[in-house]
Structure 1
Amino acid sequence: MKLSRYLKTFPSPDRPGHVLLYSTMRGSVAAISAETLAALQAGDVPAEGCEALARLGMLVEDPDAEKEQMRGLIARANAETRDFKVSVVLNLDCNLDCGYCFEGEFRCGHYMSEATADLLVETLVQKRMAQGWDVTVSFYGGEPLLSLDLILRISQRLHAAAQSHGVRYAFTLVTNGTLLDRNTALQLIPLGLQGAKFTLDGPQEIHDVQRPYASGAGSFDVVARNLAQVCNLISIQLGANFKRENYREFPRLLDQLPLYGITPDKLAVMMFTPVVSTGGCSDFNSGCAMSEEPWLLEAVPFLREATLARGYRAPTLKPSACVVELDSTLVIDCTGKFYKCPAFMGWEELSVGSLTEGLRDFRVSNGIGNWQIDACLECSYLPLCFGGCRLVTKLQGKPLSEVDCRRKFYDATLEQTVLQNLTYLAPRKKVAAQTAPAQAAVPSY
């Protein structure tokens, strides 16, 4: 057996003469002696620990076969899934006036019509539910709750259709949080509401500047109180969009949340996301549009550490690809046009069809499979990026056939992330208890 190519090695922080192995494919960690690592690199596999390392994806029979398996990973995932995830943009209107909103250039107050909503339901029922697919809708905007009537209209029909076809319908909201109070949540839960993404941009004085109402009034207190009302009813993701000049103040948000009763057990995840110029930093963003600017290489680990240290959950590292690669995801805007990424709205050349014409072939226009080159397939970071973010490539003026290489970013941050996981997410006694030189220390988390 040989070492996997999708493996990183870091010095053990508390065991001299030992190293940590981290599988970027499995998210698993093992502690072994430096002597054992040298033997493995030379092709000398010790009798002890081999089985454990193989189970954690760190030793493989054939690295070339592993490389080919990686080439087909997304295709296999696409073939196996039966859950269609669609982001539905109900309007291009909002009751807030966030200065960085990437939709600002084409926001026109447009709302999805009832006719388009009905065609959306018909399409999802005929093309997905009737074919045995579960359907999960993420209602998006603008502010989707300004279209509460359409959420009810769409969800009532999809909920009934799902029951008729023996499949599941669920929906989430990507909302600024000003309109999702307890009564609204209780109205929507019976129709399939499972979760919501709220946004609080740092401590109150920063949030109220970055995300004021259109009138100029601050919105922090309203959002925080609504979040406190619904966090026991549905799963909550809380996002916060930071900038270079203010990210060091953002941990104070985590100290303010408990004052509203929003303790770590009330949130599914806390996501700090950088504001990306001219696009990409929206309420929908989960951090995929990430640059390699020096300040970000410091800010991202800093905020993740602050999150975990206070007991909140941060996004975990796992194999992930740009959403355009996933056949089971789609964005439908308020006019019925199709896109593969919410940030692509407004770029006509990146539209991939519509409710009336159906889905067009987007393999070339969206750079599908741009990572299937030797430079990527042989990179230990491939499972974490699969070519990176198409938006970043677009904003750099490059064709989407080129990859958004994340090597510099992960070179600078991955070791810190792994050590944070060991400190906060995995019992440290599992690492200290290792005695055999090649035993696995910590399973994937």
Structure 2
Amino acid sequence: MKLSHYMKVFPSPDRPGYVLLYSTLRGSVAVIPAQTLASLQEGVFPVEGCETLTRLGMLVEDPGVEREQMRGLIDRANAGPRHFMASVVLNLDCNLDCGYCFEGEFRCGHYMSEETADLLVETLVRERISQGWDVTVSFYGGEPLLSQDLIRRISQPLQAAALHHGVKYAFTLVTNGTLLDRDTALRLLPLGLQGAKFTLDGPREIHDVQRPYASGAGSFEIIAANLAQVCDLISIQLGANFRPENYREFPRLLDQLPLYGITPDKLSVVMFTPVVSTGGCSDFNTGCALSEEPWLMEAAPFLREATLARGYRVPTLKPSACVVELDDNLVIDCTGKFYKCPAFMGSEEMSIGGLREGLQDYRASHGIGNWQVDACLECSYLPLCFGGCRFVSKLQGKSLTEVDCRRKFYDATLEQTVLQNLTYLAPRKKGAAQSAPAQAAPPY
């Protein structure tokens, strides 16, 4: 037996002489005496405890076999359930004027045509639904609720086709929240609406500066009111985009939410993410575009702690891959072009085909499997990273075949994250061990 490659060791904060073992692959935690760890590192295995450590993925028979299994993890995830997820951009128009909007340089008020919408339906029915695939569409923009006629035009035939072929169709919205009131949600529910991502950029005075209406008026009150109206009807993700100069004020947003009736039980997750660039995908991003800036290494755990302390849920720490690695995820823009990530829209060279010509081979251009090198395969953080974010690599002027290494970020933050999980998400029992299933998942 050997210790796993994919494990970190931290001192126990409340038990002198003990250490925490954290499996980055399994999400499991164990507390053992430091002396036991020293014995394991020397190849001496105590009679008691090894079976549990093996079950939690901290001891393995052969690290070489473990490494090869890791090499195939994403392939196994891609071979899993037949569930296709499409992000469909209905328009490049919006009633807000957010200064950091990544679409600012190419937004032109363009709307998807009825012809393109019908071709989208035809393609999804022919290539997915009739072949036994469940389909979930995330309607995106611009602001997708400026195109409610297209939501209906797309969803009604997809819903009917799914029923005919015995599969499932549903859709979600990535919306600024200004137009999703209760009446709108009730109209969309019969068409398959399951959830929505809203955005509130901090407490009211910060949000209204960062996300004003095009007229310059603040949008906080209407978004908060709408959120309160629909959070009992559909699953809600709440995003908030922070900057280095204002992130310490963002916990006040969490204190304001209950004043509108938006208590922790009403939200599926709260995601604080940095505004990293005007080229970023802030509305869609859930933290994939991280950086090594010292302020962010402080801000991320600070905001996570503030969220958990108030009882709200945060994104789960689990094995995750850049969405470009996941076969059954695709972005379809309002002209019918294909992309692997919303942040790539507007860059013609990043298009990988379209509804008319079909999907092109993007494995080389998008650096698929760029993490399959010794430096990554031997890194304890690989399950949390898998080569990082291709968009960050693009922002840095690097080829997408180069990895976006997250080592410095996780060196600075992972211990705090594990301790937060133990404090807020798990019973504090001496010698407690927990395990979570490993999986590959997109960053949003």
Runs of 4+ in 1 over 6 A off after TM superposition: none
Q: Report the Cα distance in structure 2 between the residues aligned to 1:229 and 1:344, rounded to whole angstroms.
A: 33
Structure 1 distance, partners of 2:377, 2:321, is: 14
Q: Which moved more, 1:325-334 or 1:279-288?
A: 279-288
Secondary structure (helix, strand or coil) at the match of 1:170 reads strand
Identify the residue that residue 442 of structure 1 maps to in structure 2: 434
For 2:421, the aligned partner's letter is N
Verify: 1:207 aligned to 2:207, yes or no.
yes
**Cα displacement (A) at 1:285:** 0.8
The TM-score with structure 2 as length reference comes to 0.97
Q: Shift of residue 191 of structure 1?
A: 1.4
Q: Deviations over 1:35-66 (max 9, x none)?
A: 10001111112111111111111111111000
CA distance in 2 between counterparts of 1:251 and 1:374 reads 41
- The residue that corresponds to 2:384 in the other structure is 384
In 2, Cα distance between the equivalents of 1:151 and 1:39?
Answer: 61
1:281 Cα deviation (Å)?
A: 3.7
Aligned to 2:219: 219
Listed one character per residue, the Cα deviations across residues 215-260 of structure 1 (whole Å, up to 9, x for unaligned) are 0000000000000000000000000000011000000000000000
Return the letter of the residue paired with 1:364. Answer: A
1:437 maps to none
3-state DSSP of counterpart to 2:201: coil
Which residue in the other structure is 1:180 paired with?
180
* Partner SS for 2:404: coil
Q: Which amino acid aligns with 2:424?
A: Y
Asked if structure 1 preserves the Cα contact closer than 8 Å seen for 2:254 and 2:310, the reply is yes
Task: Measure the CA separation in 1 of the matches of 2:64 and 2:191.
Answer: 48
Residue 374 (structure 2) aligns with = 374
Count residues in correspondence: 437
Shift of 1:443: 3.4
What is the correspondence of 1:222-371 to structure 2 with a 5 Å cutoff?
222-371=222-371
Tell me the CA shift for residue 2 of structure 1.
1.1
CA RMSD of aligned residues (A): 0.8
Shift of 1:362: 0.1
**Distance between the aligned counterparts of 1:442 and 1:400, measured in 2?**
36
Corresponding residue SS for 1:366: coil
For 1:97, give the aligned amino acid.
Answer: D
Contact residue 390 and residue 400 of structure 2 kept, 8 A: yes
Q: How does 1:98-109 map to 2 (within 5 A)?
A: 98-109=98-109
Q: Distance in 1 between matches of 2:158 and 2:51?
A: 48
Residue aligned with 2:79, SS: helix
SS at match of 2:270: strand
Q: Is the 8 A contact 1:91 1:143 kept in 2?
A: yes
Separation in 2, partners of 1:198, 1:35: 49
Cα offset for 1:81? 2.9
- Asked if the contact 2:26/2:435 (under 8 Å) is kept, the reply is no
Contact 1:81 1:328 in 2 (8 A): no
CA contact (8 A) 1:185 1:230 kept: yes
- Contact 1:100/1:281 (8 A) holds in 2: no
- For the residue of structure 2 that corresponds to 1:272, the secondary structure is strand
SS at match of 1:80: coil
* Residues 281 and 342, structure 2, Cα contact 8 Å, conserved in 1: no
For 1:125 and 1:195, how far apart are their aligned partners in 2? 22
> Would the aligned equivalents of 1:29 and 1:444 in 2 still touch at CA under 8 Å?
no
> Take 1:146 and 1:25, find their aligned partners in 2: how far apart are those partners?
42
Q: 2:415: which partner in 1?
A: 415
d(CA) in 2 for partners of 1:186 and 1:61? 54
The residue that corresponds to 2:95 in the other structure is 95
Q: Distance in 1 between matches of 2:192 and 2:51?
A: 44
Report whether the alignment pairs 1:78 with 2:78. yes
Q: Which residue of 1 aligns with 2:113?
A: 113
How many angstroms apart in 2 are the aligned matches of 1:154 and 1:378?
Answer: 46
CA contact (8 A) 1:269 1:313 kept: yes
Amino acid at match of 2:174: V
The 8 Å contact of residues 85 and 135 in structure 1, kept in 2 or not, is answered as yes
Residue 94 of structure 1 aligns with an amino acid whose one-letter code is: C
**Counterpart-to-counterpart distance in 2, 1:271 and 1:83:** 24
Q: Contact 2:324–2:368 at 8 Å: present in 1 too?
A: yes
**2:440 maps to which residue?**
none
Q: Indicate the SS of the match to 1:138.
A: strand
Give unpaired runs (5+ residues) of structure 2.
438-444
Gaps of 5+ in 1: 435-439
The one-letter code sitting in structure 2 at the alignment partner of 1:149 is D
Distance 2:69 2:435 in 1: 22
Alpha-carbon distance between aligned partners in 1 of 2:287 and 2:110, rounded to the nearest angstrom: 27
**Any idea what the Cα deviations from partners look like across 1:171-191, whole Å, max 9, x if unmatched?**
100000000000111111111
- Asked if 2 retains the 8 angstrom alpha-carbon contact of 1:289 and 1:392, the reply is yes
Indicate the SS of the match to 1:103. coil
Q: Give the AA of the match of 1:421.
A: N
Other structure's SS at 1:416 match: helix
Q: Is the 8 A contact 2:322 2:386 kept in 1?
A: yes
SS at match of 1:5: coil
